Amino acid sequence: MAKVVQFIKESYEEMTQKVTWPTWGELQNSAVLVLVASAIIALVVLAMDKGSNYILETFYNSLSN
């Protein structure tokens, strides 16, 4: 049990004394960057999905005619 208490104390000290936390502005900038990157990736995946769907439908329609 003493090791668990020591671990918690050391963890608290590290989080409060040694970790460099971002400022509110830096945090907002990072959040906007993640949001924009996620939107771009989603659009790329959507385009790939629609493109492959179009190609496969065209291929299967050509076989049935």
31 dihedral zone (left: phi>0; alpha: psi -120 to 50; beta): alpha
Whether 65 shows a pLDDT value over 90: the answer reads: no
User: For 59, what's the count of Cα atoms within 13 Å in the CB-facing half-sphere?
Assistant: 6
37 touches 44 (CB < 8 A): no
Give the pTM: 0.68
pLDDT tens column, 9-43:
999 999 999 999 999 999 999 999 999 999 999 99
Q: Would you state the pLDDT for residue 61?
A: 94
| CA distance linking residue 3 with residue 53, whole number of Å | 58
